[in-house]
Amino acid sequence: MRRFNWQKSSIIKAIGIVLCLFMVLFNFSPAMQVLSSIPNVVYLDSDTQKADFFSSLPAPFYYKLNNDTQTVSGSIDESLNRHRTTATVELFGIIPVKTVFFYTKSNHYLIPCGQSIGIALHSKGILVVGTSDITTTLSDGTIKSIPSPAAGAGITAGDVIIEANGTEIYNTDNLVNICNASNGQVTLTIQRNKSTVKISLKAAYDPREEQYKLGMWVRDSTAGIGTISFFDPNTLSYAALGHAIMDIDTSTVFDVKSGEITECEIVDIIKGEVGEAGELLGTFGSSSTRFGSIRTNCEFGVYGTLYSDTDFDSLSAYDKPLPVAFPNEVRVGKATILTTLDDSAIGEYECKVTKLFSQSKAESKGFVIEITDSRLLEKTGGIVQGMSGSPIIQNGKIIGVVTHVMINDPERGYCMYAYWMAELMG
């Protein structure tokens, strides 16, 4: 019996060794060398090129085009993936070994900007940023603390109130008026993540202020500064920032109903240091020149349309559009960045691309740049807040925009590939 077990064990080991040797030899075979050379993402001019691309696959590899999942009409994914298809490379036509993403090229020619802008947003509904107990003063002067009706009903920070008693909510005064008119009895329609819920509750009455209160802090607008990245001279659509405007209290993307971008004057610069991000300090107001409307605020930036009477020369140092590079065209090496400093004029400064990330879909961190221009380093220390959206130029093409600074190394920062943003402009 022991002899049989020993023979069985030896046979299993022998089979394992043979399989290992087969895999090693297979990995160094011409077929595997060809397979490993196939990129994960391919940009092609036509579907014909796609077929030609796979016709060179050696046996035993075959490919199968996939039926990609349809995205919601009008969604960000639909805009980014409308030119994308995928194919699976299979061993012997059975075992999947690699997925290849194909993008049919969209040629974009845009005018790079780099001008600082003021951004004013009004939300869809009103955003709940917190709840609190209500302190009321009764008619006899007694001060009484009442638990928050909103918190008691399950309303939390990050909820967006879009309706009250069937009426659309567009600002805080609107909600207060509805509460008062219904003697505090309200049914709220709330957007929570990607679902909609209805919550009924009774607001508390404050005799001193003669109004009903729900016991929550809300916000219906926000503002800040950033940089416009580029615009299409034919459609006047534009892109800015390269990342979403987030609510400071809830860390959620601010859902836009309306908004505008305006001129912005840079009044001071806080220089970046290791461990602490710098900042461009700007000012704008109701009298500032309006550049355009805001359509979308999403994880990949702010998008909208410029007004036809805009002074376009004030937005760019370039008078002609440049081609937008495909992500696979970006190279490690010299580049320039367009941005606005304290003189409120766009400057072009030297930088270099130091690292590239291969992407099969849009992400805000596509490559890394390092500021090398002594003028910019002297004034800002590198990349600072407010420079998000500054376009990067390389070999006569727009390759990306600044999205994030590296806190521990302010001379370096992340950039998003400009191609993804151009696709979202429509």
Could you please state the CATH topology (level 3) that the domain comprising 222-425 is classified under. Answer: Thrombin, subunit H (2.40.10)
37-55 per-residue burial string, b: 16 or more CB within 10 A, e: under 16: ebeebebbeeeeebeebbe
Considering only the top CATH level, what class is 133-214?
mainly beta
Round to whole Å and give the CA distance between 381 and 271. Answer: 5
Instruction: From first to last of the 426 residues of the chain, give the pLDDT tens digit.
Output: 455 455 656 666 666 666 666 555 555 555 566 666 677 787 877 767 766 776 766 667 667 767 665 555 556 666 677 777 777 877 777 777 778 887 877 889 999 999 999 998 887 888 888 888 887 766 666 777 888 888 888 888 888 888 888 888 888 888 888 888 888 899 888 888 878 889 988 888 877 778 888 888 888 888 888 999 999 999 999 999 999 888 777 777 878 888 899 998 888 888 888 888 888 888 887 778 899 999 989 899 999 999 999 888 888 989 899 999 999 899 999 999 999 987 668 999 999 999 999 887 888 899 999 999 999 999 999 999 999 999 999 999 999 999 999 988 999 999 999 999 998 887
**Helix, strand or coil, per DSSP, at residue 300:** coil
Q: Where along the chain do the CATH 2.30.42.10 domains lie? A: 133-214
| pLDDT score, position 125 | 82
Look-up of token digits 């909820």: 159
Going from the C-alpha of 323 to that of each of 195, 219, 359, 393, the distances in angstroms are 40, 40, 20, 10
> Any catalytic annotation for residue 243?
yes
Name the β-bridge partners of 273: 276
Q: Where along the chain do the CATH 2.40.10.10 domains lie? A: 222-425
Round to whole Å and give the CA distance between 186 and 426. Answer: 40
| pLDDT score, position 337 | 97
Preceding amide of 327 cis, omega within 30: no
Nearest Cα to Cα of residue 278 among 119, 412, 405, 116: 405
Using CB atoms within 10 Å of the CB of residue 3, give its burial: 0 to 12 exposed, 13 to 18 middle, 19+ buried. Answer: exposed
Going from the C-alpha of 81 to that of each of 44, 54, 78, 101, 373, the distances in angstroms are 14, 21, 5, 10, 37
Round to whole Å and give the CA distance between 282 and 267. Answer: 5
Sign (positive or negative) of CA dihedral 240, 242, 248, 253? positive
> Any catalytic annotation for residue 313?
no
Nearest Cα to Cα of residue 107 among 425, 423, 415: 423
Sequential DSSP letters for 190-243: EEETTEEEEEEEEPEEETTTTEEE--EEEEEEEEEEEEEEEE-TTT-EEEESSS
| pLDDT score, position 308 | 93
Q: Kindly report the pTM of this predicted structure.
A: 0.80
Sign (positive or negative) of CA dihedral 63, 64, 65, 69? negative
Helix or strand holding residue 421 (H, E):
helix 418-425
Round to whole Å and give the CA distance between 160 and 192. Answer: 7
Tokens at 305, concatenated: 């349309």
Going from the C-alpha of 189 to that of each of 44, 157, 164, 166, the distances in angstroms are 46, 15, 6, 8
> Any catalytic annotation for residue 388?
yes
Q: Active site residue: 243, 316, 364, 390, which one?
A: 243
